[in-house]
Each structure stands twice: as structure tokens, then as C-alpha cells.
Structure 1
Amino acid sequence: MANTKRNLFQKRRLRVRNKLKKTANGRPRLSVHRSNRNISVQLIDDVQGVTLAAASSLEAGLGVVGKNNAEAAAKVGSAIAERAKAAGVEECYFDRGGFLFHGKVKALADAARENGLKF
């Protein structure tokens, strides 16, 4: 039976997350979700099961509503870095999910790193 695109995505997502959990050392997880229209990111503490900070291209304050490009991803990345600092988080690990580390996901990660988030 052939694997569907969704099946392959879920296998890749679980493989990435399981590898990252082995090296987490109690750090929060920076989880990225990308759709065709938006990009969102959450800073999650898996020990307590709590979201510490979140940012999305749907927020009007970022000025990228309705846009889904690398520039919008960079603004979301800088926003999550600022909110993580406000929450007292400086180090985390980057969970790209099943998405390739390229394009929008890479732009988000680079912007978060430039604004002081370490991963």
C-alpha cells in the first residue's frame, strides 16, 4: 500500500519530534505550523504542558495579515523571540514538525535567532 502525502508528513513530524525530545534537557519547544495562508509558532513547555508564548501571521499588530511569505515569517519569528524574552526563556529547541527547514520556516528561525533566542 502506497503512503499518502499526509502519512509521510506525519511520519516525518514524529521522527523529528522524537529525536528532539532525546536532547531537550528540560528546554521548551519552539513549534512551527505552516499552512498555505498563515504561519504560526508556539513556545511550549512539555513538562508542564503549557504554552509560554505564541505568535502568528493572523495578528493584526504584526502588519502581515493576509500575507504568507518569508517576510511575514521573519516578522513572526522576531515577535516570538521578544515574547519569549518577556516570558523569561532564552534557550529552546526548534521543532520544525514535518516541514522542511527551507523558505518560510528558515526565515522564521533566522529572525528568532537574530532577536536573541538560542536554539
Structure 2
Amino acid sequence: MDKTQSRLRRARQTHIKISQLQVARLAVHRTNQHIYAQVFAPCGTKVVAGASTIEVEVRLQLANKSGKGGNTAAAQLVGKRIAEKAKAAGITSVAFDRSGFRYHGRVKALADAAREAGLKF
């Protein structure tokens, strides 16, 4: 079993547990260059809000920085944006789905920024 398969196995277990809770889910995915966050409705099929480092507004704010989308500063910005969008959609409490990634670095920075912006985990 390689690293990707192990991550997907952990992600599947987390996804099953969160779906049993029937609460909104904040899912995070990261690549080497970008980080993505989506808030899913409690039913689990509808995306209520989304934010990533690919968005034009985020890219403009990160234009002068090195690394652009693959660092913790970008993750903090995405965390703040996803919290604002979720609150605008009427969601204040979510379950954090890290998609099998370790709660460290960019994933942690995104979660902390979302908490500071008003989302409850």
C-alpha cells in the first residue's frame, strides 16, 4: 500500500463517520501548489461554499508573495474566505474533514483561520 492509498483509506473512514453525524462538512484537499476547501450540506451531496487558491481574488492577494498557493499564508487566506462564505450561506457549525491529510502545516493553518473567522468545529 503506497502513500496515496493510505491517505484515501483514512479519508474514507473519516467521511463515513461524518456522514453518520448528519452535519455540514468542511472538506480540505491540498496539492503541492494549491489548497482547496468546500463546505458540503448535511445531506452530503450539495456544495454550499467553496474557496481555493485558484480563485482570482486570492491569486491577486498572493501575487507579491513567493510560493503563491502552496504555503501556510495562502491556506490562512482560504480558511478565512471559506468561513465567510459558509456564514453567508447560513452555516456556522461544521465537521472538519481533512481528507486523510495530517493535521499539520497548511491543513492546520486553514482550520485555525476558519475558526478565527467564526466557524465552529
- Same fold, judged at TM 0.5 (above): yes
Q: Which ranges of structure 1 fall in alignment gaps of 5 or more residues? A: none
Cross-structure match for 1:80: 82
Q: Supply the AA of the counterpart residue of 2:52.
A: S
Residue pair 1:58, 1:64 contacting (<8 A) in 2 also: no
User: Is the counterpart of residue 27 in structure 1 residue 29 in structure 2?
Assistant: no
Residue pair 2:35, 2:69 contacting (<8 A) in 1 also: no
Cross-structure match for 2:12: 14
Q: Which ranges of structure 2 fall in alignment gaps of 5 or more residues? A: none
Instruction: Provide the identity percentage.
Output: 43
The whole-number CA distance in structure 1 between the counterparts of 2:8 and 2:33 is: 20
TM-score (norm 2): 0.88
Cross-structure match for 1:5: 3
Q: Supply the AA of the counterpart residue of 2:85.
A: R
Residue pair 1:90, 1:118 contacting (<8 A) in 2 also: yes
User: Is the counterpart of residue 52 in structure 1 residue 48 in structure 2?
Assistant: yes
TM-score (norm 1): 0.89
Q: Tell me how far 1:107 sits from its aligned partner.
A: 0.2
Residue pair 2:25, 2:44 contacting (<8 A) in 1 also: no
* CA offsets 1:29-51 (integer angstroms, 9 cap, x no match): 10000001100000011516210
The whole-number CA distance in structure 1 between the counterparts of 2:3 and 2:45 is: 29
User: Is the counterpart of residue 43 in structure 1 residue 39 in structure 2?
Assistant: yes
Secondary structure at the aligned position of 1:9 is classed as helix
